[in-house]
Chains A and B, each alone.
Chain A
Amino acid sequence: MSALEWIGSLLVFAGIPFIFLGTLGLLRFPDVYTRLHALAKSDNVGLGLVCIGLGVQSGSVALLLKLVLIWVLMLIASATAAGLIARTALARGLRPWGT
């Protein structure tokens, strides 16, 4: 395996725990706000590492840039979606856990 493939695999494997822990948080956290917190932050770090890792592995700059673009779009979309879900939950009278 070439150096690029090693670096790519390392990045992908580094991303997996973030996605795993984000999913664990989604399943185990007590209310919608803490779950959003776990999912929107942790999963996006994981996705970024996986995207960059796959891009590095592919050895093509164009492909790397496309994957990074997908990640940036996901960051924007998931931040907005998480905010919308939290606002809707608040408007419906769901109280944050522990208050």
Chain B
Amino acid sequence: MALVVLAFDLLLAAALIWLAWQATRAADLFHAVVSFIVFGLLMALAWVRLEAPDVALAEAAIGAGATGALLLSALDRLARRPRRHAPLYEPGTAWGFWLPAGSALLAMLTLAAWNLPAPGLGNEILASLSASGVEHAVTAVLLNFRALDTLLEIGVLLLAAVVIWALGQAPPPLVPSMPSPALPALGRLLFPIFVLVAAYLLWRGSHGPGGAFPAGAVFGAGGILMLLAGARPWIRSSEHGPWRLILSLGMAVLLAAGVAGTLSGQDFFQYPKGTAASFILVLEVAAGLSIALLIFALYLRGKPREHGSWGAAE
């Protein structure tokens, strides 16, 4: 049995390296994008094998799902330009760069892994878990012990959305050349399930794998599906007010929670005694909503248009 498991792990590792190679080196960009999506799915499987279901959830939802959709939509935008079938790098110079650079990176990673403190911080986290307000170690790290990291992560997402909106107007949404009645039906049927799964993941974050990032990614993916299925209801620039508020809600609430500690004479992100659970609940909900809309905003590929200016596409 152990031999079968080992064979599976080796096969998984080999497939990951092969797909990473395909994703970066394939001459055909569509091939590269599909390789990247499959890479994300197998990577999620690898995280499960490493007993890190939280990372697996985030990888499957964000790495394979949301990023895959983003890359495919970017590919659609590129399709109007002449196709490039030549390799992205000159093979000769590429080897001269990648071989030393890759070896140096590998050596540095090995050195870093070697110098890590032997048992890690796992025991310290488990020892102070009861004071964190939640029962799940990963959520405790993300929203209590290292909430600063989460603040910065949401900041990066917000910055990306701002930059994409600053680049110009959103192009008209994709319209299939032979529209299928099945897609809108699928959108209508599945969207409630997307909402349900997102709420479930958010709730689960307090005591098991889940939390704001997977929940937000699932919710955002539901929005992307609705957009693909032809829904155009509330994304108008004349209705930007609430839309922009929710986009920055996660960042604002996290910052407020951090500063609240400083203002009351404690450390940054130090929650008042006994209130950690409620703080984390509010942060989870705000961050989850923001992440969902941020992923959706990234997928719009630009600033939403004024009411009705999508014109013939509707």
A interface residues with partner B (beta carbon < 8 Å): 73, 76-77, 79-80, 83-84, 87-88, 90-92
Would A83 and B180 count as touching, CB distance under 8 A?
A: yes
From A73, A80, A88, A90, give the contact of B182 (CB < 8 A): A80
Would B186 and A87 count as touching, CB distance under 8 A?
A: no
From B177, B178, B183, B193, give the contact of A80 (CB < 8 A): B183
Interface of A is mostly: helix
Minimum C-beta distance from A3 to chain B (A): 22
Tell yes or no: B79 within 8 A of A by CB: no
Tell yes or no: B113 within 8 A of A by CB: no
Would B193 and A87 count as touching, CB distance under 8 A?
A: no
| Residue-wise interface mask of B (166-205) relative to A, using a CB-CB cutoff of 8 A (1 in contact, 0 not) | 0000000000111010110010011001000000000000
Would A77 and B186 count as touching, CB distance under 8 A?
A: yes
Would A84 and B182 count as touching, CB distance under 8 A?
A: yes
Q: How many residues of B contact A (CB 8 A)?
A: 10
List residues of chain B with CB within 8 A of the CB of A90.
Answer: 178
Considering the chains assembled together, what is the distance between the CA atoms of A80 and B176 in angstroms?
14
Would B177 and A88 count as touching, CB distance under 8 A?
A: yes
Would B186 and A76 count as touching, CB distance under 8 A?
A: yes
Considering the chains assembled together, what is the distance between the CA atoms of A73 and B191 in angstroms?
12
Would A87 and B176 count as touching, CB distance under 8 A?
A: yes
Would B180 and A84 count as touching, CB distance under 8 A?
A: yes
Question: What are 7 A-B contacts with C-beta separation under 8 Å?
Answer: A73-B190, A76-B189, A80-B180, A80-B186, A84-B182, A88-B176, A92-B177
Q: Which B residue sits closest to A69, measured CB to CB? A: B193
Considering the chains assembled together, what is the distance between the CA atoms of A88 and B30 in angstroms?
15
Would B180 and A87 count as touching, CB distance under 8 A?
A: yes
Considering the chains assembled together, what is the distance between the CA atoms of A88 and B179 in angstroms?
9
Would B193 and A73 count as touching, CB distance under 8 A?
A: yes
Given A79-B182, A80-B180, A83-B182, 9 more pairs with CB closer than 8 A: A76-B186, A76-B190, A77-B186, A84-B180, A87-B176, A87-B178, A91-B176, A91-B177, A91-B178
